[in-house]
Structure 1
Amino acid sequence: MLIATVTLLGASCTHRPIPVATSYATTTQQKMQAAHHWNVLAYDVAKRLKKSVDLTFSKAADKPPLVIKITDEQKKKPFGKAFSNLLTTKLVQQGMLVLSDDTEYAGDHLVIGYDMQVLYHKDRRKTYSPPGLLTALTGGVFFVKQAIDNWQHPGVVAIPFAIAGDIKSAIRYKYPGETNTEVLITTLVTKNQQYIFGDSRIYYINDGDSDHYENLSKTYQVVNK
């Protein structure tokens, strides 16, 4: 009977109707929380685009000018309008020729377009605390206990509370926290309808900031089943 049970358990461990769920290796993802972060993104995209253009068009005389295309809908959104202005500034600072409009230009030019896609997650599984969080907080609790034990020294009491507060602040600074809302920002450059450059970034954003990037009626929901 025991042998049969063990055999049955062994068979159940090697055969399953669906794959076993496993998590990804720990990775990081930045969180957009300020216009400064948009500026950092614009600088990075401009730097990468310049490098790509320099490699594609090695001769200075062959480098075509650039035009940033922004739709009327994008102009209504804080990020859509700001990113166009920031990217224009960063490209000019990189020494690239940027046209305000291509209607009067007869030659070939590069067209820069970008898109923002907001993603809502409705069934996220619980995330775990960052490594070292419990150890750090436990250390803070220990110092608080020491203060209570040495209550006869008033000057000592404030120190552990300050230490615990600093630990908590440092953790929040390092790990601003995941949210259920993300934004996918894609920048594409074409020449005569041929893609020559692409850049896609995914960021966490605060749940209440989705209207910075897209109309609420045009958001996408990602549901895990």
Structure 2
Amino acid sequence: MALKTATALVAGILLAGCASRYTPTPLPANFPVAKQAKLQAAGHWGVIVDDIEKRIVAELKKSPPRPVFIAEARDPTPFQRALATQLTTSLVNDGHTVSRSPAGSLRVDLDVQALTFAADRPQYRNHGQLASLGAGIWTTRDTPVKLEVASSGGALDTRDTWNAQFAPGETPKTEVIVTVSVSDQYRYVARNTSAYYVADTDRMLYGIIDPLPQEPQLTRIFKVRGDM
């Protein structure tokens, strides 16, 4: 037993010695597990607008009250138009003055950047799924959280509810970065940025126009040189 332990120790030291301490570029590493919401309905747009509005209002309360003016894009996408409309509604319903003119008002700009990443990106949806410890007791695989339920039916409901938090399908290749800025002619008063997944079938709503597939070429032209 002592011989096996010594052999394993020596092997570990040799392997550690083979690992290079210097590399020409940083080694790729994964970020810690995080969740990013996937926009799949107009109702989801309202949810993110409500969150944006709450964060903006929290910053506006730090300064003397002033009306705000929502600056719409010149050629807005359906998503940008909905954001501007719903943000106006949220601010008005919360008692804030939204001006129809920029004069004397804080300007609210909505910037939406749509991005296309590589398709078939890997995902690890099994991370944190529930595992059964016994009758009516479930735990997460990666966190020390135990959930107790009264019956087997309740256990199935608990498992389904846990899994329902993850959007179905592959990881979308489409994402949007939404930045909301509140400013005057001198400074930014409030600003926040959020990123969301977008259903790939809804790319046109966010301003991404995919090129039409090219039709196959059915004829070819040959040039004849010399005497016939």
> TM-score band, normalised by the shorter chain?
0.5 to 0.7
Secondary structure of the residue aligned to 1:71 is: coil
Match of 1:21 in 2: 28
- Aligned equivalents of 1:183 and 1:34: distance in 2? 14
Unaligned runs of 5+ in 2: 1-6, 133-151, 211-228
Q: 1:34 aligns with which of 41, 48, 54?
A: 41
Q: 1:195 aligns with which of 188, 193, 206?
A: 188
Match of 1:94 in 2: 94
Q: Tell me by how many angstroms 1:22 deviates.
A: 2.6
1:129-144 correspondence runs (5 A): 129-131=125-127, 133=129, 135=131
Q: Tell me by how many angstroms 1:202 deviates.
A: 0.3
Q: In the alignment, is the contact (CA less than 8 A) between 1:47 and 1:94 conserved in 2? A: no
Q: Whose Rg is larger?
A: 2
Unaligned runs of 5+ in 1: 58-62, 137-159, 218-225
Match of 2:197 in 1: 204
Residue by residue, what CA displacement relative to the aligned partner does 1:89-136 show, whole Å, maximum 9, x if unpaired? 10011111111223xx4xx31000101111111166522232355958
Change (3 A) 1:52 1:6: closer
Q: Is 2:1 the counterpart of 1:10?
A: no
Query: Of the two structures, which has the highest relative contact order with CA contacts closer than 8 Å and spacing of 6 or more?
Result: 1
After superposition, the CA RMSD in angstroms is 3.2
Match of 2:71 in 1: 69
With normalisation by structure 1, the TM-score equals 0.67
Match of 2:112 in 1: 116
Q: Identity, % of aligned pairs?
A: 26
1:103-182 correspondence runs (5 A): 105=103, 108-122=104-118, 125-131=121-127, 133=129, 135=131, 170=161, 173-177=164-168, 178-182=171-175
Letter in 1 for 2:26: P
Letter in 1 for 2:36: Q
Match of 1:43 in 2: 50
Q: In the alignment, is the contact (CA less than 8 A) between 1:46 and 1:94 conserved in 2? A: no
Q: Which moved more, 1:189-198 or 1:166-175?
A: 166-175
Q: In the alignment, is the contact (CA less than 8 A) between 1:115 and 1:185 conserved in 2? A: yes
Q: Tell me by how many angstroms 1:20 deviates.
A: 3.4
Letter in 2 for 1:34: A
Change (3 A) 1:31 1:216: same
